[in-house]
Amino acid sequence: MRVLITTEQIHARLDEMARQIAPEYHGQPLTIVGVLTGSVMFLADLVRRLDMPLRIGLIQASSYRGAVSGELRIDASLLADVRGRHVLLLDDILDTGQTLARLVQHLHEQGALSVKVAVLLRKQGRQVHPVNVDFVGFEIPDAFVVGYGLDYNDEHRQLPYVAVLSS
Ligand code: 5GP
Ligand code: MG
């Protein structure tokens, strides 16, 4: 495993992102929605840097890349009503964009006043589904990464850094 982004780099970047995000929502009803499971570290570390009223929500998206390729199932049963609220959707990584594009559409359908997107990582040269991303932590090369929420076979999520998984 090769460390790509250190714990210190992540924390310094989160300080900057929080300073960028906070003024966008001054005095507005905000719900920060984390995409399970990959966004949990990002969510926990970012919200503790936002000194403002907000609610936290969780949503799950699972893709079945088997028979029906690219089919995506959304489980929003844990998510409280977002009608009349601004939503900031958080995910660990933007790859093809399929997941976030669908989730943004879903949240608009649920009556969110606005939906913005923040990702910790954006993989370069991979986006095929158009999705507007408002806040990006780090641009990374097209490699499979783990740690800081990101898994391989549901493992490595607890690593406090982002690493490239090499065989
Ligand atoms: P997308 O829908 O943008 O193609 O895929 C997004 C999801 O794929 C992410 O939320 C993440 O779960 C998974 N993913 C994409 N690239 C990586 C990667 O490099 N490492 C890990 N662990 N997951 C990834
Ligand atoms: Mg994910």
Q: Is 157 a residue whose pLDDT tops 80?
A: yes
Ligand 1, from 59, 62, 89, 93: best to mutate by most atoms within 8 Å of Cβ? Answer: 93
Compute, in angstroms, the gap from residue 29 CA to the centroid of ligand 1.
29
Q: What is the pLDDT of residue 21?
A: 98
Query: Is position 95 annotated as part of the catalytic site?
Result: yes
Pocket flag, ligand 1, residue 146 (CB < 6 Å): yes
Stated as kind and residue range, the H or E segment containing 41 is: helix 40-47
C-alpha pair distances (Å), 123 with each of 29, 73, 74 = 31, 22, 23
Compute, in angstroms, the gap from residue 162 CA to the centroid of ligand 1.
13
Pocket flag, ligand 1, residue 93 (CB < 6 Å): yes
Mean pLDDT, the chain, integer = 94
The percent of residues in the chain predicted with pLDDT above 70, rounded, is 95
Give pLDDT tens digits for 77-125.
Answer: 999 999 999 999 999 999 999 999 999 999 999 999 999 999 999 999 9
Burial of 132 by CB count in 10 Å (0-12 exposed, 13-18 middle, 19+ buried)? exposed
Domain boundaries, the chain: 7-140
Which numeric CATH code is attached to 7-140?
3.40.50.2020
Compute, in angstroms, the gap from residue 137 CA to the centroid of ligand 1.
15
* DSSP tag of 152: B
Burial of 5-28, coded b for 16+ CB within 10 Å and e otherwise, reads beeeebeeebeebbeebeeebeee
The mean pLDDT value for 33-44 works out to 97
- Please give the full DSSP string across 78-126, using - where no structure is assigned: TPPP-TTSEEEEEEEEESSSHHHHHHHHHHHHTT-SEEEEEEEEEETT-
Ion ligand 2 neighbours (CB, 5 A) are 38
Q: Is 66 a residue whose pLDDT tops 60?
A: no
* Residue 63 banded pLDDT, cuts 50, 70, 90: confident
Ligand 1, from 36, 94, 95, 96: best to mutate by most atoms within 8 Å of Cβ? Answer: 95
Q: What is the pLDDT of residue 108?
A: 97
Q: What is the pLDDT of residue 68?
A: 54
Give pLDDT tens digits for 109-121.
Answer: 999 999 999 999 9
* Residue 6 banded pLDDT, cuts 50, 70, 90: very high
Q: Is 65 a residue whose pLDDT tops 90?
A: no
